[in-house]
C-alpha cells in the first residue's frame, strides 16, 4: 500500500537516492533540505526548501501523520571537513538542533515512525587503533570515546531518539552507516569522502602521473554502495528492530588498496604520493552479525562493482567540468 513519507535531507547524497527509491515503490514523498539535489532533479512529489534548525519550519513540514519519516539531514562531510576541528561548533550545533526539532515536531503531530542515520564515527577511538583488527560491534559503543565532535553529536542524537521512544512511544529506527558511496555524491569542494576524492584524482591524472593520498595509506576502512545502504535502511525501518545497528560492508581495505582498485578500473598506472592530512581512526570495518541476526540480511555487492559505477560517473563530471572551463 502506498505510504506518505517525509525525507529530511532530501537534497543530499543519500536522501536524494532514497527519495527516488521510495517513489519507485509508489509512495507519496515530501522532501526537505536547504538545497535541491545537486546532480539531478528531485523525484519527490513535494520539495520544501528550508532550514531544519528552525523549529517553525519543522512543525510546518511535519503537518500530517506521515507513515514514515527518514531524518538524514546533518552538517557533514569527509575527513577534510570533520577531522580538521575548524567546523566543530557548526557540526554539533546544526545537527543537534535538527534532531531536537525533528523529533519534537513528530511527537506533536503524533507521527509514529522515524528513522535516524547515525554513523560509525560514534565508535570509540580506542577500539580502532589497530588497522587489521578494528572493533565496531554495536555493543562496543560504551565507554564512549569518539574521535570527532561529529561522532559525539551522533551519539547524543542516538540517545535523544531512544529517549523519545522510551518516553513518548515513537518507534525509532537507528542505523550506524559506514562510509556510503556512489554516483551523485559530493566529489569535489572539500566535503567529499575518500572513494569520491580518489576517483576524482585518478580521473584528473594522466597515465604515468601521481596522485596524493593523506597519511601512509595503510589506514583501513570499508565502503558501502548506495543501493545497499538504501536496502538496509528500508528493511530496518519496516522491521520491528530499533537498533542501533551497523549498515556497512565487511570488505575492509587499506586506502592504498582503494586507490589501486580505482586505478585498475580506470586502466591507469599512477604512483601514490603520501602527504600529511586529516585521517580519523587507524582502522574501521563494519560488523554485520547483529543486522544478519535481526533482519536476516547483509549487503553483498563487492567494493569493486560499486567503484566501477562510481568511477564512471565521476569521470563524466571531471570531463564536463574541464569542457566548461575551456
Which of 51, 212, 227, 250 lies at the binding interface for ligand NAD (CB under 6 A)?
A: 51
User: In angstroms, what is the minimal distance from the CB of 273 to ligand NAD?
Assistant: 25
Instruction: Round the CA-based radius of gyration of the chain to a whole number and report it.
Output: 19
Task: Report the C-alpha gap between 35 and 39 in whole angstroms.
Answer: 11
Nearer to ligand NAD, 72 or 172 (CB): 72
Nearest residue (CB) to ligand NAD, 31 versus 131: 31
What whole-number distance in Å separates Cα of residue 151 and Cα of residue 140?
Answer: 14
Preceding amide of 191 cis, omega within 30: no
Q: What is the dihedral of CA 105, 108, 114, 120, to 10 degrees?
A: 50
**What residues are labeled active site?**
150
Q: How many CB atoms lie within 10 A of CB 243?
A: 24
Q: Which residue is nearest to ligand NAD (CB)?
A: 12
User: Least CB distance from residue 123 to ligand NAD, whole Å?
Assistant: 11
User: Is 74 an interacting residue with respect to ligand NAD (CB under 6 A)?
Assistant: yes
DSSP 185: S
Query: Of 39 and 126, which CB lies nearer to ligand NAD in the complex structure?
Result: 39
Residue closer to ligand NAD (CB basis): 186 or 261: 186
Query: Measuring CA to CA, how many Å separate 59 from each of 56, 142, 296?
Result: 5, 34, 36
Interface of this chain with ligand NAD, residues 10 to 39, rule: CB under 6 A? 11-15, 33-35
Q: Binding ligand NAD by CB under 6 A: which of 42, 99, 117, 254?
A: 117
CA distance 23 to 15: 12
Q: Is the peptide bond before 244 cis (omega within 30 degrees of 0)?
A: yes
Residue selected from 7, 76, 82, 291 as contacting ligand NAD according to rule CB under 6 A: 76
Q: Which of residues 150 and 270 has its CB atom nearest to ligand NAD in the complex?
A: 150
Cis-peptide, bond into residue 143, ω within 30° of zero: yes
Closest CB 76 distance from ligand NAD, rounded Å:
4
| Residue 181 vs 270, nearer CB to ligand NAD | 181
Interface with ligand NAD: number of residues (CB under 6 A): 25
Using CB under 6 A as the binding rule, whether residue 52 contacts ligand NAD is answered as yes
C-alpha cell at 309: 559505477
On the 0-12 / 13-18 / 19+ scale of CB atoms within 10 A, 271 is exposed
310 is an interface residue for ligand NAD by CB under 6 A: no
How far is the C-alpha of 153 from the C-alpha of 146, rounded, in Å? Answer: 10
236, 115 contact by CB (below 8 A): yes
If the CB atoms of residues 46 and 207 are measured against ligand NAD, the closer one turns out to be 46
Residue linked to cell 500500500: 1
Residue 148: how many CB atoms within 10 A of its CB? 22
Q: How far is the CB of 113 from ligand NAD (least distance, A)?
A: 18
User: Which of 53, 173, 200, 284 contacts ligand NAD by CB under 6 A?
Assistant: 53
Kindly state whether residue 72 participates in binding ligand NAD, applying the rule CB under 6 A.
Answer: yes
Residues 225-254 that bind ligand NAD (CB under 6 A): none
Tell me: does residue 158 bind ligand NAD (CB under 6 A). no
CA 306 – CA 290 distance, rounded (Å): 24
Site residues (CB under 6 A) for ligand NAD, limited to 185-214: 193
Note the residues at the interface with ligand NAD (CB under 6 A): 9, 11-15, 33-35, 51-53, 72-76, 94, 98, 117, 119, 177, 179-180, 193
Amino acid at each position: 500500500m502506498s505510504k506518505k513519507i517525509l525525507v529530511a535531507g532530501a537534497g543530499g547524497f543519500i536522501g536524494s537516492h532514497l527519495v527516488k527509491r521510495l517513489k519507485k515503490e509508489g509512495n507519496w514523498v515530501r522532501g526537505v533540505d536547504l538545497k535541491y539535489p545537486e546532480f539531478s532533479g528531485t523525484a519527490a512529489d513535494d520539495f520544501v526548501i528550508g532550514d531544519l534548525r528552525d523549529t517553525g519550519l519543522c512543525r510546518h513540514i511535519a503537518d500530517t501523520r506521515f507513515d514514515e519519516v527518514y531524518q538524514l539531514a546533518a552538517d557533514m562531510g569527509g575527513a577534510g571537513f570533520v577531522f580538521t576541528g575548524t567546523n566543530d561548533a557548526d557540526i554539533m550545533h546544526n545537527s543537534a538542533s535538527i534532531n531536537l526539532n525533528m523529533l519534537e515536531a513528530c511527537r506533536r503531530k503524533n507521527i509514529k515512525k522515524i528513522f535516524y542515520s547515525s554513523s560509525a564515527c560514534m565508535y570509540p577511538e580506542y577500539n580502532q587503533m589497530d588497522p587489521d583488527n578494528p572493533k565496531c560491534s554495536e555493543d562496543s559503543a560504551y565507554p564512549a570515546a569518539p574521535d570527532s565532535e561529529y561522532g559525539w553529536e551522533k551519539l547524543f542524537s542516538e540517545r535523544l531518539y531512544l529517549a523519545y521512544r522510551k518516553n513518548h512511544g515513537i518507534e525509532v529506527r537507528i542505523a550506524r552507516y559506514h562510509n556510503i558511496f556512489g554516483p551523485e555524491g559530493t566529489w569535489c569542494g572539500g566535503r567529499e569522502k575518500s572513494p569520491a576524492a580518489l576517483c576524482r584524482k585518478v580521473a584528473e591524472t594522466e597515465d604515468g602521473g601521481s596522485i596524493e593520498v593523506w597519511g601512509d595509506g595503510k589506514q583501513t576502512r570499508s565502503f558501502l554502495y548506495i543501493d545497499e545502504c538504501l536496502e538496509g535502511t528500508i528493511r530496518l525501518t519496516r522491521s520491528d528492530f530499533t537498533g542501533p545497528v551497523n549498515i556497512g560492508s565487511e570488505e575492509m581495505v587499506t586506502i592504498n588498496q582503494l586507490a589501486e582498485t580505482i586505478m585498475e578500473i580506470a586502466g591507469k598506472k599512477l604512483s601514490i604520493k603520501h602527504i600529511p592530512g586529516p585521517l580519523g581512526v587507524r582502522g574501521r570495518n563494519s560488523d554485520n552479525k547483529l543486522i544478519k541476526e535481526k533482519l536476516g540480511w547483509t549487503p553483498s555487492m563487492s567494493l569493486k562493482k560499486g567503484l566501477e559505477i562510481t568511477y564512471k560517473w565521476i569521470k563524466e563530471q571531471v570531463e564536463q567540468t574541464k569542457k566548461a572551463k575551456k
